[in-house]
Structure 1
Amino acid sequence: METTNLDIYGAAPLPWSRARDAMEAGLPRMETPVFLGTTKPDGRPHSAGVGLLRLDEEIYFTSGPGTRKARNLAANPACTLSMRLEGLDLVLEGTAERIEDPELVRRVAEGYAAGGWPAEADGAALTAPFSAPSAGPPPWHVYRFSPDVAFGVASAEPHGATRWTFGEGG
């Protein structure tokens, strides 16, 4: 991993462990705001709130197959995840791939259920009694996000701004 200090006030670079630990503490919690940025086929941007799950150092989210974000990802998997974590604003740039392995989908469902959303695996998708009003009806597809680069700006001491560039596999 390459670390670049972006702070213009002389603060030291932030360690990646701070961002990793903040994600671990903040996900999946309904009160943690997370937004997925994708690109529409005509090049215009699209942003939508999503619930993230961290499982085995990987990042997952869901989307109904008919939603704008799912259609955008099918055409172009490049995307961003932006979140406000405890003491840190974090933006991840990378790609998302749909997960269709029923065993992994089951583990993701269990992770969401442990975090308070009563998701269940239904083959290669998730179902639940409810989801976000914009999620569309079930079933919901599961996506794994692979980061290429991350930007963190600390909103609590110690302050700083850092870019982390990941090697192969995020």
Structure 2
Amino acid sequence: MTNTTIETRNLDQYGCPALEWARAQELLATESAAKDVPFFLNTVRPDGRPHSVGIGAAWFEDTLWFVSGPGTRKSRNLAANPACTVSVRLTGLDLVLEGTAHRVTEESTLDRVAARYRSGGWAAEREGAAFTAPYTAPSGGPPPWYVYRISLTAAHAVATAEPSGATRWTFG
């Protein structure tokens, strides 16, 4: 998200100042890729119905990354329509990220992302243009797993701890 303009809109109705995007980024960087942080990917089925599923996500290099088996509903939905949201409860902050998911195949990028996942406790390894590991979440499908990054268009957060507030950020 370097060289990105950020438009901030304060959504708080009680007089609290707008939340800082840096707060969300710091929490994403420190808490993502941990086994106990619940991320949910929301996509749209070809018939227009919503689909939501838990994912293992990692914030790395100012980007949200996640994996998915090629035959899973989420991967098939993203192939047809890459628009998505990701919801997460972080310490003191409920956050929704909006954007477009892109499959990543560049080997050096995949190697860096695999290393980030390993630092969080998942033994991911690059094999060709995908990941393998001894295990994954049951919703991940069988290996290999595609790697996706989300190009953010917007995010909104509600603080559940001080400093309080609610904010929407639009990225351009």
The TM-score normalised by the length of structure 1 is: 0.96
Contact kept? 1:99, 1:143, Cα under 8 Å: yes
Report the 3-state secondary structure (helix = DSSP H, G, I; strand = E; otherwise coil) of the residue aligned with 1:109.
helix
How many pairs align?
167
User: Structure 2 residue aligned with 1:107, among 89, 107, 112?
Assistant: 112
1:147 counterpart = 2:147: no
In 2, the alpha carbon distance for the partners of 1:22 and 1:114 equals: 16
Report the 3-state secondary structure (helix = DSSP H, G, I; strand = E; otherwise coil) of the residue aligned with 1:23.
helix
Aligned to 2:82: 77
Counterpart residue type for residue 25 of structure 1 = T
User: Structure 2 residue aligned with 1:46, among 32, 35, 51?
Assistant: 51
Aligned to 2:171: 166
Counterpart residue type for residue 150 of structure 1 = A
Report the 3-state secondary structure (helix = DSSP H, G, I; strand = E; otherwise coil) of the residue aligned with 1:145.
strand
Post-superposition offset of 1:117: 0.2
1:20 counterpart = 2:19: no
User: Structure 2 residue aligned with 1:65, among 67, 70, 76?
Assistant: 70
Post-superposition offset of 1:33: 0.6
Larger deviation: 50-59 or 14-23? 50-59
Counterpart residue type for residue 7 of structure 2 = E
Post-superposition offset of 1:157: 0.6
Aligned to 2:8: 3
Percentage identity across paired residues of the two chains: 58
In 2, the alpha carbon distance for the partners of 1:114 and 1:12 equals: 35
What runs of 5+ residues in structure 2 fail to find an aligned partner?
1-5
Aligned to 1:126: 131
In 1, the alpha carbon distance for the partners of 2:74 and 2:164 equals: 33
In 1, the alpha carbon distance for the partners of 2:48 and 2:148 equals: 22
In 2, the alpha carbon distance for the partners of 1:156 and 1:58 equals: 24
Post-superposition offset of 1:113: 0.7
In 2, the alpha carbon distance for the partners of 1:47 and 1:130 equals: 21
Contact kept? 2:29, 2:60, Cα under 8 Å: no
Report runs of 4+ in structure 1 exceeding 6 Å deviation.
none
Post-superposition offset of 1:99: 0.5
In 2, the alpha carbon distance for the partners of 1:144 and 1:100 equals: 11
